[in-house]
């Protein structure tokens, strides 16, 4: 017999181990927030590199993208927190 494959996402597995109900909506909202935070990290690194290399124009363009992504992060986290309050998960 081969090892059984686990079809659970990491969030589903954590819920199962902790004995809490898995909520797909919350999982999706969490993933969207995590993705946006990762994008912020990458953009901040690119901006730092642009400034270090003297590319002020590039740094300014990245700054606009950072501002938009920061707003997106606020919306995504807000949706996650609101869902958690309303759904109780």
Number of independent structural domains in the chain: 1
Residue 10 inside a domain? The answer is no
- CA 67 → CA 28, 54, 55, 73, distances in Å? 23, 21, 18, 10
64 within 8 A of 42, measured Cβ to Cβ: no
What value does the mean pLDDT take over residues 65-73?
97
Six token digits for residue 55: 């590319």
Residue length, the chain?
A: 89
> What is the reported pTM?
0.74
Q: What's the pLDDT band for 11 if we cut at 50, 70, 90?
A: low
- Matching residue, tokens 């659970």: 8
Residue 17 inside a domain? The answer is no
**CA–CA distance, 32 with 73 (Å, rounded to integer):** 9
Residue 53 inside a domain? The answer is yes
Q: What's the pLDDT band for 8 if we cut at 50, 70, 90?
A: low
Mean pLDDT of the chain: 86
pLDDT value at 20 more than 80:
no
Residue 50 inside a domain? The answer is yes
Q: Which domain holds residue 76?
A: 30-87
């Amino acid at each position: 017999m081969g090892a059984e494959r686990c079809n659970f996402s990491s969030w589903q597995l954590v819920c199962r181990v902790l004995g809490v109900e898995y909520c797909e909506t919350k999982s999706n909202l969490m993933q969207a927030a995590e993705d946006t935070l990762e994008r912020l990290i990458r953009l901040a690194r690119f901006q730092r590199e642009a400034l270090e290399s003297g590319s002020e124009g590039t740094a300014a363009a990245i700054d606009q993208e950072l501002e938009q992504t920061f707003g997106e992060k606020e919306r995504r986290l807000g949706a996650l927190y609101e869902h958690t309050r309303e759904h109780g998960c």
